Amino acid sequence: MDSLALFCTGALLAGGLYWFVCILGPAEQKGKRAVDLSGGSISAEKVRDNYKQYWSFFRRPKEIETAEKVPDFVDTFYNLVTDIYEWGWGQSFHFSPSIPGKSHRDATRLHEEMAVDLIDVKPGERIVDVGCGVGGPMRAIAAHSRAKVVGITINEYQVKRARMHNKKAGLDSLCEVVCGNFLEMPFQDNSFDGAYSIEATCHAPKLEDVYAEVFRVLKPGSLFVSYEWVTTDKYRADNPEHVEVIQGIERGDALPGMRSYSDIAESAKKVGFEVVKEKDLAKPPALPWWTRLKMGRIAYWRNHILVTVLAAVGIAPKGTVDVHEMLFKTADYLTRGGDSGIFSPMHMILLRKPEAAASES
């Protein structure tokens, strides 16, 4: 009887561990398991050192304000967080408004499809995803529009992940991924029929620099849509709590500095774009985009326990615990920014490259 009880207890523990790691562990998109967490292109033994290096950028703020330093800063960040993002969030590294009766996954997909609908591309046309991550939006957009999407990301590990996901989804004929800096894109002038960026240009030290590159590679008459991270008209620079929240978001998301909503159109006009439409997609009647962060608090503690155990036994790099804790703190700042209305991750701007640019190029 004792042997039977021992066997049942062991089986129950084994089953619980399997459920905790393998069932709860994978991300929504089933792209990454907890036992496979890594430091991206960083070797396991150097993850903690790179985490410390990431934070050292903020002790030298002048360095993250220059285009020369930003690629290393952002690349380090995405080596540290990409696996955790995939595991705990999914393959689309961005937010979307909640939609009644729709899952977070469906709301995310609709938010992505809206971007390509706005730039009005036709099947077979070539568009660029400026800051594509592991390609979640790219695949949704390619499947929806049948356009050929070329994504660019600074992070080599994300390139590998995106290519793997593209092939697995059967979309590798429509989706191409390039490793490069979106401030110096390796594409010819006037070579794309459209462009979009979903919460990615926030990593540029100067918005006009990345907008100028998009302008250069777009064909005259083509459209570009971007979802920008901004402070809203409710933000007050003399309010200490507002400043704390925005600085917390900047440090936890590798931002050289947060831009004001009022700066976006001006930056676009400086490089030659025409502003077609501008709207904060987070404003009512849109439902809160940060609901998912609030709902994820229990999942965070479950995941944090799991990451701590995996790091302790040597399966996950030890620095992974530090990174996971940083992201939880950042989620709190993001939630406070959304609740107070001082921050939006989806200030949408739709731009056109003038036809007249053809004769000037």
Give the tens place of pLDDT for each residue, 127-185.
999 999 999 999 999 999 999 999 999 999 999 999 999 999 999 999 999 999 999 99
The 3-state DSSP class for residue 127 equals strand
Q: What are the tokens at 172?
A: 């590798």
**Cα gap 330→324, rounded to integer Å:** 10
> Which residue carries 């995939």 as its tokens?
86
pLDDT of residue 28: 42
pLDDT of residue 50: 87
Q: What angle do CA 264, 201, 294 make, to 5 degrees?
A: 95
Cβ neighbours of residue 340 under 8 Å, at least 6 residues apart?
234, 242, 245
pLDDT of residue 32: 65
Question: Beta strands 343-352 and 218-231: pairing type?
Answer: antiparallel
Q: What are the tokens at 104?
A: 């977070």
Decide if 277 contacts 350 (C-beta within 8 A): yes
Question: Beta strands 175-179 and 148-153: pairing type?
Answer: parallel
Can you list the residues of the chain whose pLDDT is less than 70? 1-35, 58-68, 296, 357-361
pLDDT of residue 60: 58
**Cα gap 314→21, rounded to integer Å:** 15
pLDDT of residue 9: 59
pLDDT of residue 16: 53
pLDDT of residue 26: 45
pLDDT of residue 121: 97
For 347, phi and psi rounded to 5 degrees?
Answer: -80, 105
